[in-house]
Amino acid sequence: MAGTTGKGFYVGMVLGMVMMSSMAASCAANFLQDTELTWGGDRGKVLNGGQLLTLSLDKFSGSGFQSKKQFLFGKIDMDIKLVSGNSAGTVTTFYLSSEGPNHDEIDFEFLGNVSGDPYILHTNVFAQGKGNKEQQFYLWFDPTRNFHKYSIIWKPQHIIFLVDNIPIRVFENEEAKGVPFPKDQAMRMYSSLWNADDWATRGGLVKTDWSKAPFTAYYRNFKATDHFISSSSSSDSFSDSKVQSNEIDANGRRRLRWAQKYFMIYDYCTDLKRFPQGLPPECKRSRF
């Protein structure tokens, strides 16, 4: 990898420009260039020259988009403004996933609610096709009023979920205890807005109010800072330096404890009813 100091000074003007533009592309993505709308027809829209993307849901369909590139480790950020008003029954997702039968997945799902009642942020990790590692949270702000940043840091040793740069969950690599960890399959970023009123709101008790459709969620500032990119693209190695500070420091651990203490509403690791034979092995560790 080229050094980050002096880059562009000692090369020709044209080469310097090329390098600068490829750096920019790997840092702040443009929805037109870096993602594609994959379903829902014109319910998904890219606006403002690729700076803003909207998804909508009506009686007939939801919609979704995905990154063109695949990643093997990295940091993925997205600013999202969720469906406002009565969003009961709707689910907005932002996740990483590989393809195929034994797929890996790292999930953020936002479960809507009636006006004034809180969204649930649902998180999960799948490795080798198996999930069942849910943690759920309320948010400390109204996610429908403004954009907020949701991030996934994916490294070989752990996965960190962040909300506005506050770590809310750390999933450690516990392969030593026989727990599969997503680290061998490249993943894409996916996002969608769909109807799940059979389970989303109060466990399915509250149905989608279609008289309020279409429902709309807003996306901007998609960033993918990758360690390694599987689709051969050497220019992206310039963004490596950005990922280096992804460990959690003392302040981060304090914030993590704060989020877990005051906002976590479900943790599979404490759900003894669900695991009568004993909690999964990764749960038997000192928690943060």
Q: At its nearest, how many Å lie between ligand NAG and the CB of residue 78?
A: 20
Q: How many residues bind ligand NAG (CB under 6 A)?
A: 8
Out of 202, 207, 274, 284, name the contact with ligand NAG by CB under 6 A: 202
Nearest residue (CB) to ligand NAG, 2 versus 265:
265
H or E stretch at 164: none
**Cβ within 8 Å of residue 168, ≥6 positions away:** 121, 123, 137, 161, 162, 256, 259, 260, 263, 264
Q: Measured from the CB of residue 256, what is the shortest distance to ligand NAG in angstroms? A: 22
CB of 274 to ligand NAG, least distance (A): 18
The interface with ligand NAG within residues 99-158 (CB under 6 A) comprises 111, 113, 117-118, 120
- How near is the Cβ of 87 to ligand NAG at its closest, in Å? 9
Q: Which is nearer to ligand NAG, 117 or 174 (CB)?
A: 117
Residue nearest to ligand NAG (CB): 117
Q: Segment near ligand NAG (CB under 6 A), from 30-38, 194-202, 246-254, 267-275? A: 194-202
Query: CA 120, CA 107: separation in Å to the nearest integer?
Result: 13
Q: Are 140 and 130 in contact (CB under 8 A)?
A: no
Residue of 29, 39, 90 whose CA lies nearest to 214:
90
Distance CA 218, CA 191 (A): 11
Q: Closest CB to ligand NAG among 113 and 216? A: 113
Please state the closest distance from residue 83 (CB atom) to ligand NAG, in A: 12
The continuous run of DSSP H or E covering 155 comes out as none
Min separation Cβ 196 and ligand NAG, Å: 10
Which alpha helices (H) appear in 73-197, and where do they start and end? Answer: none
| Beta strand extents in 115-214 (DSSP E only) | 120-126, 135-137, 148-154, 158-163, 166-172, 188-195
Task: Identify whether the C-beta of residue 275 lies closer than 8 Å to the C-beta of residue 267.
Answer: no
Of 101, 151, 153, 91, the residue nearest 126 (C-alpha): 101
On the question of a cis peptide bond just before residue 276, with omega within 30 degrees of 0, the verdict is no
Does 201 participate in binding ligand NAG (rule CB under 6 A)?
yes
C-beta of 14 vs 261, nearer to ligand NAG: 261
Please identify, among the stretches 36-44, 163-171, 182-190, 200-208, the one whose residues bind ligand NAG according to the rule CB under 6 A. 200-208
* 3 state DSSP class of 249: coil
Q: Which stretch binds ligand NAG (CB under 6 A): 10-18, 60-68, 198-206, 216-224?
A: 198-206
Distance CA 119, CA 196 (A): 14
Query: Residue 93, interface with ligand NAG (CB under 6 A)?
Result: no
So which residues are the catalytic ones?
A: 105, 109
Give the interface with ligand NAG as residue ranges (CB under 6 A). Answer: 111, 113, 117-118, 120, 200-202
